[in-house]
């Protein structure tokens, strides 16, 4: 069950004061969405796990520097993305590591509704959607992840991204159209025709 903003604020305050139990609750709450974000960037489950672990270790060491406890979720996403990009740079130096695909996630609603998309095995949909999101311009990736992975409303995304709600609605509309087009392309590549 997602935490309310006030709960997050209190947990961050307790974690800053050295309460390991409070930090553990934050880890349990944010671990899954951060894992999906990391997996979308690095493409390999083991690497994504490493990224999230490194991100939480950094957060634990630096939580005292977090100025606004209500910004914890966004702060954690930025740390996670930073570690994901570091992992990718290291991988480029060691090409023997393969980037795999696939992830279980809460993306089931992305391709819902009437469309020209064929029926897809629900177990394969998350990996297909993640692949499609990776093809969308980077400016649209975070709003899509927040909307479909974290099930955030456009208003919450606007607060998180420090943008106007109307701007976010337009951004999500454009991003969703691009996502659908890329998802159809991914499905065609898999021989499912759209």
pLDDT of res. 122:
62
Q: Is the pLDDT of residue 92 over 70?
A: no
Comparing 50-64, 122-136, 146-160, 161-175, the range with the smallest average pLDDT is 122-136
Q: Is the pLDDT of residue 31 over 90?
A: yes
Residue 165 to residue 95: CA distance in whole angstroms: 42
Mean pLDDT of 181-194: 74
Contact 126, 104 (CB under 8 A): yes
pLDDT of res. 4:
83
As assigned by CATH, the class of the 104-194 domain is mainly alpha
**What are the residue boundaries of the structural domains of the chain, listed by start?**
1-97, 104-194
Helices 45-62 and 72-93 cross at an angle (nearest 10°) of 130
The second-level CATH assignment, the architecture, of 1-97 is Orthogonal Bundle (1.10)
Q: What is the CA radius of gyration of the chain?
A: 17
Mean pLDDT of 135-158: 79
Residue 69 to residue 65: CA distance in whole angstroms: 10
pTM assigned to the model? 0.51
Helices 125-135 and 20-42 cross at an angle (nearest 10°) of 70
């Amino acid at each position: 069950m997602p935490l309310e903003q006030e709960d997050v604020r209190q947990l961050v305050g307790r974690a800053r004061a050295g309460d390991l139990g409070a930090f553990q609750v934050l880890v349990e709450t944010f671990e899954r969405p951060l894992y999906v974000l990391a997996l979308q960037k690095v493409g390999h489950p083991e690497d994504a796990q490493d990224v999230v672990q490194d991100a939480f270790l950094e957060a634990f060491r630096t939580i005292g520097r977090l100025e606004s406890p209500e910004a914890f979720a966004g702060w954690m996403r930025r740390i996670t993305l930073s570690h994901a990009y570091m992992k990718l740079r290291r991988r480029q130096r060691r090409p023997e590591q393969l980037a795999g695909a696939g992830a279980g996630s809460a993306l089931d609603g992305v391709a819902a509704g009437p469309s020209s998309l064929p029926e897809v095995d629900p177990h394969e949909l998350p990996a297909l959607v993640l692949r499609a999101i990776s093809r969308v311009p980077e400016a649209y990736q975070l709003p899509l992840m927040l909307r479909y992975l974290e099930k955030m409303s456009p208003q919450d995304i606007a607060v998180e991204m420090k943008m106007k709600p109307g701007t976010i609605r337009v951004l999500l509309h454009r991003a969703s159209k691009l996502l659908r087009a890329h998802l159809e392309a991914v499905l065609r590549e898999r021989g499912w025709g759209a």
